[in-house]
Each structure stands twice: as C-alpha cells, then as structure tokens.
Structure 1
C-alpha cells in the first residue's frame, strides 16, 4: 500500500489552489465541499471560479505564484498547465512543511484525492495511487450504482439515536440491534423517502428491545421483485439491493442464471417452476410459502420475470401477505413487451403507425380466449402484444382476421427477448403460425401485431448484421 487512507479535517483551514483554469475549478470543488477556506492564486479565473469568487466561496490573488503563498496553509494544490510552475509550487510547499498535490503528477504528490462516492455524511474514496485514475473512476461509477442515494439520510438517522441506544440498549445486544435496524424496515423506510415513518419505527424498535433485550424481531419481509425479461442489466438498482440482502429467493423457471447469480451467495434458493398450464408448485402454495418464510423472520425475495403486476399474478401473492400482516415491498420490473420490443427493434408506439398499445394475455385459467375483445384488438393503428400466447398463436391470428384485421397485417414473435439467445420471427397474420412452427420457437416468447413490426429491420440494433450491433445475436427469418 503506497498511501495511507486518512480523513483530514480542512473545515475553516486555509488551503491554496495555484491555477485558475478548469482543472483548478474541478479540484476546488471537493475542498469547498469540505469547508476549506480556499485561496486561488492565478492571474485570471475561468468562468466557474469567477462565479465562486462572486458568491464569496473563494479568495482570489490575481498574480503569479510566489513561495510565500504557501505559508500557513494546510493543503496546497498545483493545477496550472506549466510544469515548471507546478514544480516551483511543489518545492515551496515541501520547504514549508505543507502537504502538496500536483495534479496528474504522482511523483510530486504528498497526497492524492482519488475518486469519491459521497453520501454525506458517508464518504467513500477510491485511490489507484495516482497510477490509474481512469480505473478509479470506473470503480466509483460501479459503486454509485450499488449504494442508494439515501444512505446519507440513514447515517444521519442512526447518528441522531446513538446516544439513546447507548443509554437504553445493553452493550451485549447493541450490535445485533443496529444490524437489525440497518437491514430491516427502518432502513427500508429511509430508502423509500419515508423519514418520519423511519423515525417512528426506530423509536418503536428501541422500546421493543428494552422490553425484550435479546429479541431480534419475529416478522420478516417479502420483496416482490420484477426481474425484467432476461438481460440482468435491466434490473433496477432497488431490485439488486434487495436481492443482495434476501435470506430466501423464491423464483420461477424464467429467471436466467445471470440474474440468479446476483443474489446473495448464502441465500436459500427455492424453485417454484411455473410454465403456462404447467405449474410445478400451485399458486396458492407459493403464496403461503412466502407467508411462512416471513413468519420465520426471514427476508424473502419473490423473483418473477418481467413485471410482477403485468400478468405475473403478483396481486394474488401480496393479497395473502396483506391478510397475514406480512410487510412487503413491490419492485417494478421492465415488462416483457417493453423490453423485448426495444431489443427486437419494434417500437410499441409510433406517430405514423400506432397511437395505442394493448397488452393481452394469450393464456387463461380455462385456456379459452373467448373473453377477449376481439373486435377491439383487430382495430388498426395500434400495437397488440400477446403474453404467453405461443400455444394459441394459430387461434390468435385467425380470430383477429375474423374480426376484420387484414391478412397481411404485420406480426412478429420475439423469443427469449433481451438475451443473447434472442430470435425474432417476422411474418403476418396469415403465415406467422407456420413460420413459428418451422423455426421451432419455444417459450418464453411474445407475439406482437401491428404495423410497427415493419420497422424491425431498420431498428434491429441488437442483431449482429445491424450497423449498431456490438455483440453477436441471431435473428431467424424465413
């Protein structure tokens, strides 16, 4: 380890920035955020620094650097475009015993700033020792996606109750108490922006722990998470965070292994199958399973493909949770129609082709499609997306034509959309069933009907032959 990680208090301490350009402006931002009393030495200032001066954030000495400028400073930064001038700053600071940083010159740095992830009062800094700042920024970008923006508020709430907890919760139970707070309903309320509720929950948790010092809480929580259509990159930040803290993951067949690999390694995985007309575990048993796990005090992730509230029977599952007073959260996912349409290059709406979009289930409890409003579905200038309709594709195409849809109305099937195995079969209401049979299309697959299908060849960015393609994909066209 080349550098010692420390946190230095610069609030109200004099610090010096030598240079008045854009680089100096960027380097000034962190010092000002930390409350430094910053003086900028430069003949002229860039627009941003001039604005800082006008706000009274900095002091400006409109001149070239002199060695005496470093006297009394806590930190010095050299950020000019003149290597000789930067070295003079370095030598003056070293002579005066002041820590100095020469931008982009690691050998002339007593300290480096690194890339910073800020969730005030929490601060995370990533350093490459000045050797690979681009890599440090890449790591920062990754961390930014993993650490919720409200963690700072959570830290502030915890800080405000530290003395109370210290006074009321016995020492031997304090650690487990805070662990429960940071991974339970209190933290979730903060992250949901419900700070008043979080405050109430924390007060209640303290009272409960005083009454029962060793209790860790009997009730868990269920997270109903939409996993999207397949590409793990389409998961939301919240979905990823909850997957990482779940004790149990109850999942369907359609969840790709790449998504399952994002779950906490120690989590128990419970497979409940679910294909159209072939449920390895009945829906009622799945719902009861969620209740049973939660009553054991476990955090349960119910992971479903697409969006749980879009033909995902999510409403049925949370109904039983509500009846049993089990806390739950619903995390929306990218619904399959939206995700598969985007990856296939089929826009669901388009000013010239479709002014409406209809999502329809192609599979029902009694396997009958008579309940659908076929005259409405056959109307022009709209896109109709059939979920779980592959088994009934011939009937779907026939019924649309019987209600007046032209036989040459464009139609498509998107198989395993958003994944490397994605295939798109293009046809019309007359020939699509036969094309699907010859292509041996298998579920999961969506049927899309409407003139927007005509745009697929032009917009198919996810295909290897398309100019915008960056990875190998396969499109089946007969």
Structure 2
C-alpha cells in the first residue's frame, strides 16, 4: 500500500484553492460538496487557519511555487494532474452518505478510477446510506443485545454476509435492522477454524477463507505463510506464529497451515 486512505471532515473548515479555470472549478465543487469553505491563496489570517490546499495551475513552474509556498504554511497540498507534487490525491467517489467508497490509483489514472467507480455504482443499492443510518440509530439496542464487543462484531459480520439479514448489496427495507434485532439466531461465541492453504497467492483464497480472515479475532499461522495472506486479516486481529494454544483465547481463532 503506497498511500493511507483517510476520510477527512471538512465541514465548516477552510480549504485553500489556488488557481482558476475548469480544474479549479471542479475542486471547488468537491470541497463545497464536503462542506468545506474555499479560501484564496493569500497571506491573511483566514488562509493561515487552513490545513489543506489544492493547486489547480496549468503552468508547471507556477504550480511548484504555489505548492512550496503552501507547504511552508504547514498545509498538505494536492496539485491537480501532477501526482509527483502531491501530498495526497483525491479519489473517485461513490456517495451513499454516510457510506462513502473511494477508488484511488495514486494519481496513475483518473480514468481507471472512474471506470472502477462506475462498475461499483451499479452494484450498490441506492438505499445503502439509509441502511447505515438505521444501524447507527440502533447502536444502543445492538449493544444491549450483544454486550461484548467480539460477540457484537461477529453478529454484525454474520448479518452483513451475502444473503444475510443486513446484506449491504441487497435492497433492504426500513424495518431490516429492527427485524434482525428481533431474531433469535446468534453467532458462535468461540471456536477454532483450521485452513490449509494450497498457495501463498492472496488471489487464490477461497471465499470462505477470505471471510474467516475478515472475522477472526486471533490468527495463528505456520512458518511459510506469506505476509500477503496475513494482510487480508482484520487490522486489529492478533497475529501469532505457530499452532494455537491448548486453551483458546476468547473469540474466534483461525489456524493457517500451508501445503504446497
């Protein structure tokens, strides 16, 4: 991963926009769509409050000078169509507020990012954002139903699976969350799943293995399992080389062995 994707809250915050023309207008629309306030590149106090800047200047030398000047003020800078001058890049965006999906190519090709975005747009229901809002509103009820964080996460993982009660790729009605909370089925509290890998290529993972990697609280693995496989696990999952202990930790454990 060459860049760290972040979602920045710009609402009510100043964002410097240097330049004029179509590219600058496009960035202005993007900033204002996110609730930011566009300010000019100038030395006054309001400009110094900004932490993010966009430079939309065609002339290379002027763009470099503007970027350097803004960085000297402590800002992180995006220079339109000049990825080598950027501290960050702007992705293609799928907006199902509050659900946002960003597709970036590190500045390699905006056209590729757009093509991927268009494909994903067709897969995502229009009511996906409303489903997320309903889950947010039900947070307290979800915590009461599943007081423990690991149990609660597994319940949500199970609900979000394809065909699950809250499958995000299916059209869900307004009562979907309430109906799910009233159901009697609960995810397993503990357990160990053992997976024998036939390849160290992450693209060869089965759907089941990919799902378990995304759900497991603890990942135990034999020597030789590639780092690329372990990167598919949840970021907060505990990783430990070797076989699992006789007494398993509380939660879902996964043991990866390798057979090549």
- Partners of 1:205 and 1:164 in 2: how far apart? 11
**Count of aligned pairs between the two proteins:** 187
Q: Secondary structure at the match of 1:155?
A: helix
8 Å Cα contact 2:96/2:126 also seen in 1: yes
Q: Secondary structure at the match of 1:191?
A: coil
1:205 and 2:180 are equivalent in the alignment: yes
8 Å Cα contact 1:78/1:90 also seen in 2: yes
Following superposition, the deviation at residue 30 of structure 1 comes to 2.3
Following superposition, the deviation at residue 189 of structure 1 comes to 11
Alignment CA distance shift 1:94-1:176 (3 Å): closer
Following superposition, the deviation at residue 71 of structure 1 comes to 2.0
Instruction: Normalising by structure 2, report the TM-score.
Output: 0.62
- Partners of 2:142 and 2:73 in 1: how far apart? 46
Partner residue, 1:9: 9
1:109 pairs with 59, 78, 86, which one?
86
1:32 and 2:39 are equivalent in the alignment: no
Alignment CA distance shift 1:22-1:265 (3 Å): same
- Partners of 2:7 and 2:168 in 1: how far apart? 29
- Partners of 1:87 and 1:188 in 2: how far apart? 43
Partner residue, 1:85: 62
* Structure 1: tracts of 5 or more residues without a match: 42-64, 216-263, 267-478
Q: CA RMSD in A?
A: 2.9
- Partners of 1:188 and 1:116 in 2: how far apart? 18
8 Å Cα contact 2:17/2:56 also seen in 1: yes
2:156 pairs with 162, 178, 188, which one?
178
Larger radius of gyration: 1
Q: Which residues of 2 match residues 262-281 of structure 1 at below 5 A?
A: none
Instruction: Normalising by structure 1, report the TM-score.
Output: 0.35
RCO comparison, higher one (Cα < 8 Å, 6+):
2
Partner residue, 1:404: none
Partner residue, 1:120: 97
Alignment CA distance shift 1:18-1:188 (3 Å): closer
Following superposition, the deviation at residue 168 of structure 1 comes to 2.3
- Partners of 1:113 and 1:174 in 2: how far apart? 34
Following superposition, the deviation at residue 187 of structure 1 comes to 5.1
Alignment CA distance shift 1:22-1:165 (3 Å): same
Q: Secondary structure at the match of 2:54?
A: strand
1:141 and 2:141 are equivalent in the alignment: no
Alpha-carbon displacement from aligned partner over 1:257-313 (angstroms, at most 9, x marks no partner): xxxxxxx977xxxxxxxxxxxxxxxxxxxxxxxxxxxxxxxxxxxxxxxxxxxxxxx
- Partners of 1:176 and 1:164 in 2: how far apart? 16
Q: Secondary structure at the match of 1:163?
A: helix
Q: Which residues of 2 match residues 281-300 of structure 1 at below 5 A?
A: none
Alignment CA distance shift 1:70-1:89 (3 Å): farther
2:145 pairs with 133, 147, 168, which one?
168
Alignment CA distance shift 1:214-1:29 (3 Å): same
- Partners of 1:102 and 1:188 in 2: how far apart? 35
8 Å Cα contact 2:54/2:78 also seen in 1: yes
- Partners of 1:139 and 1:67 in 2: how far apart? 40
Alpha-carbon displacement from aligned partner over 1:173-205 (angstroms, at most 9, x marks no partner): 42343245434455589825x32xx2xx53343
- Partners of 1:99 and 1:74 in 2: how far apart? 6
Alpha-carbon displacement from aligned partner over 1:300-342 (angstroms, at most 9, x marks no partner): xxxxxxxxxxxxxxxxxxxxxxxxxxxxxxxxxxxxxxxxxxx
Partner residue, 1:76: 53
Q: Which residues of 2 match residues 194-233 of structure 1 at below 5 A?
A: 194-195=173-174, 198=175, 201-209=176-184, 213=186
Q: Secondary structure at the match of 1:11?
A: coil
Alpha-carbon displacement from aligned partner over 1:147-171 (angstroms, at most 9, x marks no partner): 2222111111111112211112243
Alignment CA distance shift 1:32-1:66 (3 Å): closer
* Structure 2: tracts of 5 or more residues without a match: 189-205, 209-260
Alignment CA distance shift 1:202-1:70 (3 Å): closer
Q: Secondary structure at the match of 1:73?
A: coil
Following superposition, the deviation at residue 109 of structure 1 comes to 0.9
